[in-house]
A and B are shown apart, each in its own frame.
Chain A
Amino acid sequence: MKKLLPKILSGAAALALALTASAQDTVKVGILHSLSGTMAISETSLKDVLLFTFDEINAKGGVLGKKIEPVIVDPASNWPLFAEKAEGLLVKDKVAVVFGCWTSVSRKSVLPVFEKYNGLLFYPVQYEGEELSKNIFYTAEAVNQQAVPAVDYMLADGKKKFYLVGSDYVYPRTTNKILKKYLKSKGIADADIIEIYTPFGHTDYQTIVAEIKKFSAGGKACVISTLNGDTNVPFFKEFANAGLTSENCPVVSFSLSEDEFRSLPTKDLVGHLGCWTYFMSLTTPENKKFVADFKKWLKTAPAGVDRNNRVTCSPMNLSRTGVYLWKQAVEKAGSFDVDKVREALPGQTFKAPEGKVTMQENHHLINPVFIGETMANGQFKIIKSLGPVAGEPFSDKFLK
Chain B
Amino acid sequence: MILRRLNNLRPPTRSTTVAALVWLLCYIFAIPLSAANHRAVLVQAITTNDVAVQADLINSLANVPDPIIEQALTAWRQGSVYLYEPEDQPKVPFLLEAGTDATGKSRGIDLGTGEFIKDAAGQPLLFTAADLTAADTSSKLRRVIKTTLDLLALSNLNPNVRRDAASKLGQEQNADYLPHFRERLANEKFPEVRKALTEAIAITELLDEKADVRLGAVRALDQQRSIPGLDFLARLETEAKTKPQAFSLDLLNAIHQARIHIERHVSTSNFIETAFHGFSLSAVLLIAALGLAITFGLMGIINMAHGEMIMIGAYSAYLTQNLFIKMFGQGTRGFDFYFLAALPFSFLTAGLVGILLERGIIRHLYKRPLESLLATWGVSLVLQQTMRTIFGAANVQVYSPSWLTGNINAQDVVFAYNRLFVIAFAIAIVVFTWLLLTKTSLGLQVRALMQNRQMAACMGVRTDRVNMATFAFGSGLAGMAGACLSQIGNIGPSLGQSHIVDCFMVVVLGGVGNLQGTVSAALGIGVTDQVLQPHLGAVLGKITVLAAIILFLQWRPAGLFATRGRGLEG
Contacts and interface: CB of A to CB of B under 8 A. Distances in A.
The answer to whether A and B touch in the complex, with CB atoms under 8 Å apart, is yes
A322 B212 CA distance: 66
Contacts of A203: 488-490, 498-499
Given A199-B539, A218-B171, A38 B494 contact: yes
A308 B320 CA distance: 20
A265 B167 CA distance: 27
A348 interface: no
A217 B171 CA distance: 10
Interface stretch (A4-12, A58-66, A95-103, A236-244): A236-244
Interface in B473-528: 487-490, 492, 494, 498-499
Nearest to B485: A203
Interface stretch (B21-29, B299-307, B529-537): B529-537
B394 A41 contact: yes
A247 B394 CA distance: 29
Contact of A245 (B164, B231, B284, B417): B164
Interface string A357-400: 00000000000000001000000010100000000000000000
Nearest to B269: A214
Contact of A41 (B160, B280, B395, B530): B395
Chain B interface main SS type: helix
A204 B502 CA distance: 12
A356 interface: no
Interface string A237-280: 11011110101100000000000001111110000000000000
Contact of B168 (A204, A234, A240, A248): A248
Interface string A168-210: 1000000000000000000000000000111101111011101
Nearest to B534: A207
A230 interface: yes
B539 A206 contact: no
A242 B164 CA distance: 13
A213 interface: yes
B227 A207 contact: no
Contact of B416 (A40, A207, A242, A247): A242
Contacts of A218: 171, 227-232
B522 to A, nearest CB: 13
Nearest to B277: A206
B280 A206 contact: yes
B398 A265 contact: yes
B407 interface: yes
A267 B80 CA distance: 18
Contacts of A168: 539
A247 B164 contact: yes
B538 A197 contact: yes
Interface string B271-285: 001100100110010
A234 B160 CA distance: 23
A377 to B, nearest CB: 10
A198 B543 CA distance: 12
B405 interface: yes
Contact of B393 (A44, A233, A266, A283): A44
B394 A263 contact: yes
Interface residues of B, number: 60
Given A234-B488, A248-B164, A263-B394, A241 B405 contact: yes
Contacts of B277: 206-207, 210
Contacts of A233: 395, 489-490
B409 interface: yes
Q: Which of B284, B394, B409, B539 has the most CB of A within 10 A?
A: B394
Contacts of A265: 397-400
Nearest to A235: B489
Interface string A17-54: 00000000000000000001010110010000000000
A383 B270 CA distance: 37
A153 B488 CA distance: 31
Nearest to A287: B130
Nearest to A219: B171
Interface in A262-308: 262-267, 283, 288, 306
B492 A263 contact: yes
Nearest to A378: B397
Interface string B164-208: 100110010000000000000000000000000000000000000
A214 B268 CA distance: 13
B230 A263 contact: no
Contacts of B55: none
A267 B402 CA distance: 12
Contacts of A234: 488-490
A107 interface: no
7 contacts: A203-B490, A204-B284, A207-B274, A230-B490, A243-B406, A248-B164, A263-B492
| Top 9 A-B pairs, shortest CB-CB distance | A218-B231, A219-B171, A263-B395, A241-B416, A206-B277, A263-B394, A234-B489, A217-B228, A198-B538
Given A207-B277, A207-B530, A214-B227, 12 more contacts: A199-B542, A203-B489, A206-B280, A206-B281, A208-B538, A210-B273, A211-B534, A218-B229, A241-B405, A248-B164, A262-B394, A264-B397
